[in-house]
Amino acid sequence: MSGGHAHHQLYLDRETAIHRLAPQCKIAAVLVFVIAVVATPRETDWPYAVYALALLGVAAVARVPALVVVRRMVVEIPFVIFALLLPIIARGPRVDVLGVSLSANGLESAFILLAKGTLGVVASILLAATTRPRDLLLGLQRLRMPETLVQIMTFMFRYVEVVLAEMTRMRIARESRGFQARHAGHLRVLANSAGALFIRSYERGERVHLAMLSRGYVGRMPVLVDVRSAPSQWAVAALLPLVAVATTAAAWVIR
Partner 1 sequence: MTASLLVEELAFAYPDGHQALFGVNLAVQRGERVAVLGPNGAGKTTLVLHLNGILTGGRGTVQVAGLPVVKENLREIRRRVGIVFQDPDDQLFMPSVREDVAFGPANLGMRGPELEERVHEALALVGMAQFADRPPHHLSYGQRRRVAVATVLAMRPEILVLDEPSSNLDPASRRELADILLGLPVTILMVTHDLPYAFQLCPRSVLLDGGVIVADGSTYDLLCDTATMSAHRLELPFGFDPRSVGAPAG
Q: Which residues bind partner 1 (CB under 8 A)?
A: 2-3, 5, 134, 137, 154-155, 157-159, 161-162, 204, 207-208, 210-218, 222, 224-225
Task: Please state the closest distance from residue 6 (CB atom) to partner 1, in A.
Answer: 11
Report how far residue 233's alpha carbon sits from residue 26's, in angstroms, rounded to the nearest whole number: 9
DSSP 1: -
Task: Please state the closest distance from residue 15 (CB atom) to partner 1, in A.
Answer: 18
Rank residues 35 and 197 by Cβ distance to partner 1 and give the closer one. 197
CA distances from 123 to 20, 44, 127, 221, 224 (A): 17, 21, 6, 31, 29
Helices (H), 63-186: 66-72, 77-89, 104-130, 133-142, 147-176
Task: Please state the closest distance from residue 135 (CB atom) to partner 1, in A.
Answer: 10
Rank residues 2 and 180 by Cβ distance to partner 1 and give the closer one. 2
- Radius of gyration in angstroms for the set of CA atoms belonging to the chain, rounded to a whole number: 23
SS3 category, 102: strand
Task: Please state the closest distance from residue 3 (CB atom) to partner 1, in A.
Answer: 8
Rank residues 211 and 235 by Cβ distance to partner 1 and give the closer one. 211
Rank residues 4 and 57 by Cβ distance to partner 1 and give the closer one. 4
Rank residues 71 and 158 by Cβ distance to partner 1 and give the closer one. 158
Closest CA to 61 of 16, 126, 112, 29: 16
Task: Please state the closest distance from residue 85 (CB atom) to partner 1, in A.
Answer: 41
- At a CB cut-off of 8 Å and minimum separation 6, what does 165 contact? 1, 3
Task: Please state the closest distance from residue 211 (CB atom) to partner 1, in A.
Answer: 5
Report how far residue 100's alpha carbon sits from residue 95's, in angstroms, rounded to the nearest whole number: 8
Q: How many CB atoms are closer than 10 A to CB 130? A: 27
